[in-house]
Amino acid sequence: MALAAYRGRGRGRNNADRGRRGRGPRSSQPRTDKSSARTTVCQICMKTGHSAIKCWYRADFSYNEDSQKTALFGSSEMPNHADWYLDSGASTHLTADPNHLSTTDPYTGSAQVVLGNGQKIPIQHTGKGILPTPSGKLILQNIHHVPNLSFNLLSVHQLTHDNNCIVSFSSNGYQIKDMKSNRLLLHGPCHNGLYSIRSTKPPDLALLSIQTVPNLWHSRLGHPAAATLNRLSVSNSHIHNKSHSHLCTTCQLAKSKQLSFPTSVTTTTRLFELVHSDVWGNSHTTSIQGYHYFVTFIDDYSRFCWVFPLTQKSEVFHVFCKFS
């Protein structure tokens, strides 16, 4: 029995049963709703009347729609704003957390982010960022700050273009490798069909870096004395001077003074006719053998130099007797 829809030529008006003339039961297949096809929005070219699978730009990889930013990611998972998710359908990096941007500028364009369900979300800021990995840092050149976004999306195209890398997917997870050296930069599992990248929150990284830098304000203010920093810290709570014992090498080199020695008129004609000696120490760093000083002997005629390490300064006379 054929169940295809059939349109008969009835002789009466508004009587569909006359046209069938007993040719079998009426078809149960519903008619196609043309109005739903007119309202369908394509996710590739953003035009109505067809879906993405029937789009004529589907195989044209050079096609780019500048007026809209696309994000084809879709999931019912609860979002974690510290994590990134790889999205092969996103044209730019998208984040809801402004802390992921190291440099920000207000977005003045008219483009909006179009999600996979057709929803449009406005863009507030644009900028750059860095994604730390165990093998280095991945540069995120084009990040759009979208406050109403549920997930932080990494554009696979933008990521591979800016870092010269390759992203491969499998049912078990993903791998990001350097294109030249084939070195593994990052890898992760696939959880419920999502390829996530665990990321540490930027505020935690900033607090850690501040604690590990000694004498930060001493360097920022042009290497002032400790007493000057103490006076400034009284009226400015942001200035801290806790590293009093830190030795600043820059201050030692810049503020050191050299005594004026008279020009020597002595001329030597044989070895050991004149020997110059000097003692250096106390060193702030103890050597492996426990030495803190050293004494030098320089022959004026040959300019040959001898260096003897010392644990104490009182050993100079004993070393000199052995040298002579």
The pLDDT tens digits for 216-253 are: 778 888 888 888 888 887 777 666 655 555 678 888 88
Task: Pick left, alpha or beta for residue 173 (phi over 0 → left; psi -120 to 50 → alpha; otherwise beta).
Answer: left
Task: Give Cβ neighbours of residue 270 (< 8 Å, ≥ 6 apart).
Answer: 301
Could you tell me which residues are beta bridge partners of residue 277? 297
| Structural element, H or E, at residue 174 | strand 173-178
Structural tokens at position 262 = 């008279």
pLDDT confidence of residue 3? 33
Q: What is the pLDDT of residues 116-132, one digit of tens each?
A: 677 788 888 899 888 87
Q: Where are the domains of the chain?
A: 68-201, 275-323
Whether 302 shows a pLDDT value over 90: the answer reads yes
Whether 18 shows a pLDDT value over 70: the answer reads no
Whether 43 shows a pLDDT value over 70: the answer reads no
Residue 87 falls in the annotated catalytic set: yes
Task: Give Cβ neighbours of residue 2 (< 8 Å, ≥ 6 apart).
Answer: 24
41 vs 245, higher pLDDT: 41
270, burial (CB in 10 Å: exposed 0-12, middle 13-18, buried 19+): exposed
**CA 256 – CA 13 distance, rounded (Å):** 112
Residue in 133, 240, 137 with CA at minimum distance from that of residue 187: 133
Q: What is the pLDDT of residues 77-118, one digit of tens each?
A: 445 567 888 888 888 898 888 888 888 888 888 888 877 677
For the domain bounded by 68-201, which CATH number is listed? 2.40.70.10
Please identify which of the residues 60, 66, 87, 162 carries the catalytic annotation: 87
Q: Is the dihedral of CA 208, 217, 98, 112 positive or negative?
A: negative
pTM, to two decimals: 0.40
**CA 168 – CA 176 distance, rounded (Å):** 7
